A = this chain, B = another copy of it.
Amino acid sequence: MADPADTEVNEEIGFKPLYAQVRERLMRRLVSGEWMPGMLLPSEIELARQLSVSQGTVRKALDSMTADNLVIRRQGRGTYVAEPEESRILFQFFRLTPDNGAASFPDSRVVSTGHAKPTHTEIENLRLAEGEQVFRIERIRMLSDQPILIETITLPASRFPDFDHLTIIPNNLYRLYSERWGITIGSAEERLKAIAASSRDAKRLGCNEGEALLLISRVAKDLEERPVELRWSRCISRDIHYAVNLR
A interface vs B, CB < 8 Å?
68-69, 92-93, 95, 186-196, 210-215, 218, 235, 237, 240-247
Cα A137 to Cα B206 in complex, Å, equals 38
Those 10 A-B pairs whose CB atoms lie nearest each other, nearest first: A194-B194, A194-B212, A212-B212, A193-B237, A192-B242, A191-B241, A188-B246, A194-B214, A190-B244, A187-B247
Interface core residue of A186, A242, A245 (most chain B CB under 10 Å): A242
Contact, CB under 8 Å: A213 / B212? yes
Q: How many copies of the shown chain assemble into the complex? A: 2
Q: Provide the residues of chain B in CB contact with A247, threshold 8 Å.
A: 68-69, 92, 186-187
Cα A213 to Cα B214 in complex, Å, equals 9
Q: Provide the residues of chain B in CB contact with A188, threshold 8 Å.
A: 245-246
Query: Shortest CB–CB separation between residue A154 and chain B, in angstroms?
Result: 18
Taking A192-B241, A193-B240, A194-B215 as known contacts, 14 extra A-B pairs with beta carbons closer than 8 A to each other, sorted by chain A number, are A69-B247, A92-B246, A186-B247, A189-B243, A191-B242, A191-B244, A192-B192, A192-B242, A194-B212, A194-B213, A195-B237, A196-B211, A214-B214, A218-B246
Query: Shortest CB–CB separation between residue A176 and chain B, in angstroms?
Result: 19
Contact, CB under 8 Å: B193 / A242? yes
Interface core residue of A190, A193, A213, A235 (most chain B CB under 10 Å): A193
Q: Provide the residues of chain B in CB contact with A211, threshold 8 Å.
A: 196
Contact, CB under 8 Å: A192 / B245? no
Q: Provide the residues of chain B in CB contact with A242, threshold 8 Å.
A: 191-193
